[in-house]
Structure 1
């Protein structure tokens, strides 16, 4: 409130201003004033305890959160600015100062329970209408948050998560140190191997050189022998020739005749020796390299292979601890609405007291109260549901393979209600939700796809060589697990789609459930067992055996109860959820 003709104080809206009776009072719109705009008041809301201009007054009547408020026109509104309430509710209004990520000029004031999102008024108007979402005004629901169970759960989760990240950092530092040490050791091995190769090549070279030298010595020895013989023969023939010439000159016919005949015989003998000397065994040599060695250096691309062994953090290295189980009983899930015997293909846990199950044959989802051990609500679907996943504590999603659809369902006032659907391009079977992302498996064509909450495809993983029959899937921060009924394995992928583990020895793996410590519980339909597999898929241990064709399984980490269904085509088993208590031995 300000005196007409005077400049009003910018802080006028936070206090009551008293004026002299002869002064003309001018009151301004409080919401507009908070935004930096000065508009004359046209009315007053007794619920909000605020003066409103003509625009805000009109909007107040239309907005779904304020249209039931009591409004006073200009004639009946208070003539002085009202002192803000000191209630908790008003205090919270002053705290609503966080800008909306989508609409920076608007403050976050609302919360959508279905999408678990904080909203401004524009978000509510454009994307979260009352007909499709359950939206609350934050001051209306925040009063019980102080020292609440949710607050305590958050603190515990924050401490746990912080400890995990500190442990991971410690583990990664240790593993990096170990890896670098192994690389230094590897360099030593490489150099040693190279030295061994050099030594072996030197040895082979010496052998070749020695062979050459032996042949050379043999050649030289033979040449020396020939040279000696030839010199002796030519010297002897020269002496004989000179003597015969002398006898011929001196006309000594008798001696000439005798020496000539002897010389002719000697020459004949020499011809045989000459023939023997001319038939020598001397050869010309060339070097032909070893084809194996030559090809080795041509074809081989490396000295060897760097073998690897994955080092694991403490949370990855969790080993299966032996468990002891005890049968607790069954919950009958057959209802008067059912036309057929139950065929439970999927189970998910919303809270320790609340399970949701898929009844494939009866085309329904059922809400099971574990405290009263009864079906508290049932919702009929457009087609047969296969798998199911929790989205929030009041929302879940089921796959409808034959109509290529994912149906979202919410819980309000203990009743199941269909929400929106999401069409997909194949027979969707398994589904799992983790931190706002959905992973969906498809049988025809065989693939995995990840989606965001709006149904946008984030990645597509072709299963041609990685998996063949991905019935069920479950996931956590580091892994996606697939129960492959065709390959008879549980296959572990990372979020990039690389195979990082596989557990064999299954016969017909079906439903799965992740434990808090990272192990995976898997139903094996044909072996009639439920097996617990380590997070890295390296080991497994039977938890329950001699069951009647177990199909779907769900573990409650808080109560240590294991729920599973049977598809034995026998009403004594199929119409019930079976319960076992688990504990470590």
Structure 2
């Protein structure tokens, strides 16, 4: 209601509602600013305007209504967007609220919750102003290059993990053969011990396979998401709307940063040279009745060049 009153009383455009009052923001509130003080270099809401005009040291300051410049091309782009029923509103990744400002201090898009909580003392900028030079900036090329690099790494990691998955199958067969070979030197009492070890091996193998499948799924999802991000940049670039492009760049930049961390975690799981094999317990012949398993499962990561060898 307060926003509507401010718009009605001061004839504020919808674009001005993206600017917040600086004094109120510093106290934790998110009040809409309607005027700008050229002497203080600050944005003011109706209440703060009244206070400013009555203050001893500020009553002679020059105040002007906030106006957001809009080029004819941007106007046509906006009209075209409205006619097509599409919206370029970008949601905050943390709070899922509409983005209203750009934080110069942290290079981040901010919703009203962000501003009131973690960007109270930051230097904020109107989105249209922040986006004015994004199309010709190096940031566009840097983000696209970073996404392609990250996408390539995920695809490479996906291929490596697929090779490890196939190698685990070969290791599983080798393991079983080794167990059977060693089993020939023992009596029927080894049936139980073999069963215990095979069950342990199956749990171990299933766990590793599940882990790798999880990695493969993450890689697949990452490649899909990053491909979508590149498509979003391409669409935004061709539509000619600078603000839309800026918002898209910041959105995919955050997504790209998130998947950088995901890639680091995925690459740590089961390296390419990971193997596991049967390790017999020679002392079992002397202490057959005193053991609970036929042997142990030992993980190894040997440096391997070329294809896997069983």
TM-score when scaled to structure 1?
0.24
The higher-RCO structure (CA 8 Å, 6+ apart) is 2
TM-score when scaled to structure 2?
0.42
More strand by percentage = 1
Higher CA-based Rg: 1
